[in-house]
Structure 1
Amino acid sequence: MKRKDLMNLGLDKKTVGQIMAWNGMDIEREKRKRLELEKKFQETQKYVQDIEKENKTIKEEAMYKKILEEIIHAETGEKRKMLIAFI
């Protein structure tokens, strides 16, 4: 509510001032809470990105390991050449 609205309700200036101050404190408290939540969200996003990056690395390593095993166990030289060229 605005100051004028409170005055129209018949409240005196002191009461209106107190209400406005409480409202201001509430607004500041909400801003701080929002900023804290945004900071936590950003930290969580960074953590998720780090995990996704690590997962990608692990998957790539597993893929290369599988290809190397196939190269080792390849029955013909031609198949080996194809796999080595793939890497």
Structure 2
Amino acid sequence: MSSTTFNPSVQNAGLSYTENLGRAARAFLTALLAITPEAKPVAEAAKAKRHAGSVAELYRLARGFDSIQPNLAQELRAIAARDID
């Protein structure tokens, strides 16, 4: 048989319910509105690098179809050219 005890934190001792609720709301808003300004440019740089790689892959794929399906090769080049802009 075991017994458990609840020892409230000394930091919160003597606080009323509304004070606790106010602190919780303030902590929630702080966490909700926390912004990392450096996260977005890093993501955009990674996206641009991935995009350049996919365009190069389309050109590489088109090169393989030049002799057997020239229309498909032309379509792949058109898609790659459209994605560059």
Structure with larger Rg: 1
Higher helix proportion (structure 1 or 2) = 1
Larger relative CO (CA 8 A, sep 6+): 1 or 2? 2
